[in-house]
Amino acid sequence: MKNNQVPQENTSPGKFPKKFYFSRRKYCTFCKDKIKLIDYKNYKVLENFILETGKILPARVTGTCNFHQKQLSKAIKRSRHMALLKFIEPKRG
Amino acid sequence: MNRKYEIGFVINPEANEEEIKKIIDSIVEIIKKANGTIENIDEWGRRRLAYTVKKHNEGFYVFINVEAIGSTFVEIERRLKLHEKVMRFVVLRLDDKLKKANRLTRKWKRIERMSKRNVESEPDDEIINDDDDGKED
C-alpha distances out from residue B81 to A87, B2, B8, B33, Å: 22, 24, 12, 20
Residue A4 has pLDDT above 80, yes or no: no
Residue A49 to chain B, least CA–CA distance (Å): 16
Domain ranges (residues) in chain B: 3-99, 102-136
Contact state of B135 with A9 under an 8 Å Cβ cutoff:
yes
How many domains would you assign to chain A? 1
Residue A64 inside a domain? The answer is yes
pLDDT, tens only, A64-85: 888 889 989 999 999 999 999 8
Residue B118 to chain A, least CA–CA distance (Å): 11
Contact state of A21 with B128 under an 8 Å Cβ cutoff:
yes
Residue A8 inside a domain? The answer is no
- With beta carbons less than 8 A apart as the criterion, state whether A82 and A39 touch: no
Contact state of B135 with A85 under an 8 Å Cβ cutoff:
no
Tell if the pTM clears 0.80, that is, is over it: no
Backbone angles phi, psi at B94, to 5 degrees: -105, -30
Q: Mean of the pLDDT values across residues A8-31?
A: 62
- Better-predicted residue by pLDDT, B107 or A43: A43
Fold held by B3-99: Alpha-Beta Plaits (3.30.70)
Nearest residue on chain B to A27, judged by CA atoms? B111
pLDDT at A78: 92
Residue A13 has pLDDT above 70, yes or no: no
pLDDT, tens only, B96-134: 888 888 877 887 888 788 878 777 665 554 444 444 444
Q: Mean of the pLDDT values across residues B37-56?
A: 88
Contact state of B135 with A86 under an 8 Å Cβ cutoff:
no
Nearest residue on chain B to A71, judged by CA atoms? B97
pLDDT at B62: 92
pLDDT at B117: 78
Decide: helix, strand or coil at residue A70: helix
